[in-house]
Structure 1
């Protein structure tokens, strides 16, 4: 019997406009009403969760954020699990990237920090109403140097054709860091950070087995989460590797695929 559903947000519960439909929200509510723990598992920081689930009281208690850098008990505010980047490592990396033309953002203390005005504007345009914790900073180095909190993640946006190559060359000198590339930016976090590691820590804390866990996702960063789940659903828009690893492939994120996974499979299993 499934007791926990870990579900990705962007590309899974959210459509191409970064919006959650009524059908998907209703499916998540039915999951919670059936006694299954709904756990958002996202690359976003805690302060930028989709507003529709934030405003739905009682929908979830636990959140896996920043690609697994932290698991938070939202009822108590407790960080149940953390894998933070060392401050000295983050500062050295930022120093090494000074001469590379990149935009810089970070996840620190549940906030999305953006160096410079243009990226801050882009962040608010992308996140929209979800951007409750997007803040502009003048210098990311100075912000990291002064913070008393752990660094969940750094992100570097490629501003020139050479930026990607140059960033990769720098990151190759940091064996204690992991990176995940997209077409326009790279996410950097502490080695060992993954949604899978975070989900395992949460499962063990709650006494829930792998066989009692389900998950839905679309990206490479969801693969470790699949490895810690007994029932897995890949969205129709998923990367090929995730589709191969999934028990079921459902419609894409513009066709309420996450809702379909819940309605057609998860809740049906619960009824048996």
Structure 2
């Protein structure tokens, strides 16, 4: 099988525990690029939080792509948007009302990678980390202080693992009917438009490039990677992946601290 595209999750997949790209991961990705394979970084992060890693890998230009905001945006390295799916201002207001009623910490992200949250006595460390990572600024605003047509790419409930474990059933019960709710990493329980996920984004990108899904690879480690791992021609789970991810994957590579991505590319892509 001649694979033409590989979609790679970032955190705990491409990146090791130091948030770095190992030398083997880098060299194998560059070899794949030289063979003409599309290497697509696919993350819940925003463009601003992905682009430096893309530059490090020499993934650049309008003929290279990234999937950001958990699949809400498919875009080029130069930020030309191919597809986008957003959440309405109506949802945003409902979401803020929900988190306030349940005394939760939150943030939302707009199309420009700006992070918004409500005024609080103190801000959750994960909210601060999100804004820092997005590199678009942290804005302290209530929904009624923003335009009536204000839209967001995702809404995030923040908290430690125990806090999110406790509130997850309520969040799913409240939003699952009309939205896609998923844990994307430590401290982040995220809400997206109903049909938005990395799998749909991979399908949209493959169609736009006239690449058959059977000729795609997807590799990841968490719940939000499951849709793309299931839809890709070859779905690969990291050794450090959650059990649910390993169950749906076609194969398992080494963990993120031991060149899991590089080893998978070497085995399935490099000629």
Inter-partner Cα distance in structure 2 for 1:233 and 1:164: 26
Give the SS at the match of 1:49.
helix
Name segments (4+ residues, structure 1) moved above 4 Å.
116-128, 159-168
SS in 1 for 2:202: helix
Relative distance call for 1:122 and 1:67 in structure 2 (3 A) is closer
- Residue 113 of structure 1, aligned match among 112, 115, 123: 115
Aligned-partner Cα distance in 2 for 1:33–1:230 = 21
Q: Is the 8 A contact 2:99 2:106 kept in 1?
A: no
CA distance in 2, matches of 1:48, 1:106: 15
Match of 1:221 in 2: 224
Q: Which residue of 2 aligns with 1:252?
A: 255
What aligned pairs does 1:83-98 form with structure 2 within 5 A after superposition? 83-98=85-100
8 Å CA contact 2:124–2:159 kept in 1: the answer is: no
* TM-score (ref. length: structure 1): 0.84
CA contact (8 A) 1:180 1:187 kept: yes
SS in 2 for 1:146: coil
Q: Normalising to structure 2: TM-score of the pair?
A: 0.84
Residue ranges of structure 2 left out of the alignment (5+ in a row): none
CA RMSD of aligned residues (A): 2.9
Task: State the secondary structure of the residue aligned to 1:12.
Answer: helix
Q: Which residue of 1 aligns with 2:206?
A: 203
Aligned residue pair count: 264
Given the alignment, which residue of 100, 103, 106 partners 1:101? 103
Of 258-267 and 157-166, the range deviating more from structure 2: 157-166
Answer yes or no: is the 8 Å Cα contact 1:38–1:59 preserved in 2.
no
C-alpha contact (below 8 Å) 1:5/1:38 kept by paired residues? yes
Structure 1 gaps, min length 5: none
Q: Is the CA contact 2:228–2:235 (under 8 Å) kept in the aligned structure 1?
A: no
CA apart distance, 1:127: 8.9
